[in-house]
Structures are given as C-alpha cells and as structure tokens.
Amino acid sequence: MSGAEHVAIDAATLDANTAYRLLTGVVVPRPIAWITSVAEGGELNLAPFSAFTMVANDPPMVGVNIGLRAGRQKDTARNIAHSGEYVVNIPSWDFRHAVHESGRAWEPDVDEIALLGLRTVDSDVVAAPRLLDVPVSMECRLARVVSFGRAGAEFTVGEVVRFHIRADLLQDGKIDTLELDPAARLAGPNYGRLGKVDTLPPLTMTVSSSADRREGRS
C-alpha cells in the first residue's frame, strides 16, 4: 500500500521553538480561553490562551497551558497563583481582533480591557470580573498547576464554579455551536471560524463484534 510521502522527524533533534511551531500547526484549531484575572495590587488583566482544553466534568474542570515569558511567569499565571481565581471567557468570532491585541505583552499596570473597549461585569463567585459581551464565561477556582517538559510552562487547571451562557445558545442543556460562533487559533497570527457542520447518526447502538458476525449473532 503506498500513501502520500511523509517526512519523518526525530523529535529528539528539535529545539524548543521548532517543536512549538510544529505542535501549534498540528494541534488545530484550538479554542481560546480569554482569561480575566486580578493582580495582587488589584489591577485587572486580560490575556488569551489557546492551549486550552476540558479536563474533567465532575466537577467541571478546564485547563490552560501558560508558558513563561523571558523565563518569568506571565501576569495571568502570577495572578492565578496569587488569588486562586479567574474567569475563562469564550470569544466569538467578532472578538478575534480584540483577542489578538490582548495577546500583546502589555505592562502589568495597563488595563488592556479598557484599552480594547471591552466591558466587564462582576462575577458571582470569584473576585475577577467576567467579560460582559462574550457568549460564555466560566468562573474558575484554581485546582492544580502541573509543569511538563523543560520550558517551564504551567498547565493550570481550574474548577468551573459558575457558568454564564448567553440564553439563546442554550437548548436542553446543550450549546448551539454555530450560534456560539467561536474564534479558534491556528498557527501564528491565524484564526479560524467554524465551517460546515456535518451531523452523523448518534453512536447509541452497540456495534456487533467480528466474532458475533461470524457466528451469525447480530
């Protein structure tokens, strides 16, 4: 069987930046956790993180991988470590420019939220406010920080203690993905939007094993 030609790369030969470029090109599209957090001095901070995934559902937990900047914790990581609380906001496609701009290395005393013309509202449970105009926000309490590899990135897992979901997105406890219209991060400064959604038959039936089929059981 001959397939398309593939390039084999020994991962042990890669430096950290090359491996980063490969991984961020392969693990796509990535959802964006647009995190609001509060510094020890009370300054509000906003930054996007696309190394973002769900981690558990009982209780609901989400994780983001926060890298170091020039060998030091980013403001978000420092704020979360200090306060133990933050909000993961989910940006819809319309927010992609603001998301991108909020990824600049702003000085800690710059209020990027006001600068980007975004509005916040007090959270119900945690001290960090949530973004008012995004479709979904999740108030989180820090659960655990785990570091993998040699670059010092911190996989930061939080328990979601309160969901805020735009009412029109919620039907029978499910989110309408097309209406959510999430902005996704691709490699580098590239962003993607959902294309066509193909709905396949639900996987509710037990598929018979090959032994069952040989012996005539269905």
Ligand X SMILES: Cc1cc2nc3c(=O)[nH]c(=O)nc-3n(C[C@H](O)[C@H](O)[C@H](O)COP(=O)(O)O)c2cc1C
Q: Applying CB under 6 A, which residues contact ligand X?
A: 32, 45, 47-51, 64-67, 69, 74-76, 99-100, 103-105, 185
Q: How far is the CB of 51 from ligand X (least distance, A)?
A: 3
Counts for the chain of helices (H) and strands (E), in that order? 6, 16
- Nearer to ligand X among residue 48 and residue 158 (C-beta): 48
- Nearer to ligand X among residue 94 and residue 124 (C-beta): 94
- Nearer to ligand X among residue 28 and residue 170 (C-beta): 28
Q: How far is the CB of 75 from ligand X (least distance, A)?
A: 3
Q: How far is the CB of 45 from ligand X (least distance, A)?
A: 5
- Nearer to ligand X among residue 66 and residue 160 (C-beta): 66
CA geometry: angle 116, 117, 120, nearest 5 deg: 105
The span from the CA of 168 to the CA of 94, in Å, is: 17
- The dihedral built from the CA positions of residue 124, 132, 100 and 43, taken in this order, carries a sign that is negative
The two structure tokens encoding residue 30: 């990535």
The two structure tokens encoding residue 158: 């939080």
Nearest to 140 by CA among 63, 66, 68: 63
Backbone angles phi, psi at 129, to 5 degrees: -75, 165
Q: How far is the CB of 144 from ligand X (least distance, A)?
A: 17
- Nearer to ligand X among residue 9 and residue 105 (C-beta): 105
Tokens 């909020």 correspond to 102
- Looking at beta carbons, which residue is closest to ligand X? 103
Q: How far is the CB of 203 from ligand X (least distance, A)?
A: 31
Q: How far is the CB of 87 from ligand X (least distance, A)?
A: 13
- Nearer to ligand X among residue 102 and residue 123 (C-beta): 102
Tokens 């930061």 correspond to 156
Computed over its alpha carbons, how large is the radius of gyration of the chain? 20
The span from the CA of 48 to the CA of 46, in Å, is: 7
Backbone angles phi, psi at 124, to 5 degrees: -80, -40
